[in-house]
């Protein structure tokens, strides 16, 4: 018959309860911040996709104007505005996403350091 193992985590007992609780609170704060950053990165990803769509629309309008399928000033202005909006949207959201990724990596590093400082070990 297989022996069931239960694993319990405990600290080494060298950290006072107050600092242990403070470290756990800080870990929870960091994890909440990491969730916010993941949401921001996802939002930027969606905005970048919309910006790419705007640039593709602008390219299609420019092509239609060059071929002669359409001949109107409002379509030319729409193509120019769409291209500019798409490029600006891609650039700003890419920068925001990169900054959020860097902050996310820093939060992960800090959280992992706090977890390691708690020195969890497995008790059989």
Residue 8 confidence (pLDDT): 43
pLDDT at residue 103 above 90?
yes
82 contact partners, CB below 8 Å, separation of at least 6: 54, 55, 57, 58, 61
**Domain annotation covers residue 8:** no
Angle, CA 88 vertex, CA 82 and CA 92 arms, to 5°: 145
**Domain annotation covers residue 3:** no
Strand partners, 122: 9
For residue 121, what pLDDT band results from cuts at 50, 70 and 90? low
- State the residue range of the domain holding 37: 15-117
**Domain annotation covers residue 37:** yes
Structural domains counted in the chain: 1
Give CA torsion, residues 110, 111, 117, 120, to 10 deg.
Answer: -160
pLDDT at residue 17 above 80?
no
Q: pTM of the entire structure?
A: 0.72
Mean residue pLDDT across the chain: 85
**Lookup result for tokens 């390219």:** 59
pLDDT at residue 50 above 70?
yes
Rounded CA-CA distance 70/73 in Å is 9
**Domain annotation covers residue 71:** yes
**Domain annotation covers residue 102:** yes
**Domain annotation covers residue 77:** yes
**Domain annotation covers residue 1:** no
Residue 71 confidence (pLDDT): 85
**Domain annotation covers residue 2:** no
């Amino acid at each position: 018959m297989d022996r069931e193992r239960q694993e319990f985590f405990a600290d080494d007992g060298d950290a006072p309860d107050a600092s242990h609780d403070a470290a756990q609170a800080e870990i929870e704060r960091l994890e909440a911040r990491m969730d916010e950053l993941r949401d921001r990165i996802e939002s930027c990803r969606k905005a970048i996709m919309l910006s790419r769509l705007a640039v593709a629309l602008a390219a299609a309008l420019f092509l239609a104007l060059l071929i002669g399928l359409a001949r109107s000033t409002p379509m030319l202005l729409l193509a120019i505005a769409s291209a500019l909006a798409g490029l600006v949207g891609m650039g700003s959201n890419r920068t925001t996403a990169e900054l959020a990724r860097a902050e996310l990596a820093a939060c992960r590093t800090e959280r992992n350091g706090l977890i390691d400082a708690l020195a969890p070990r497995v008790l059989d």
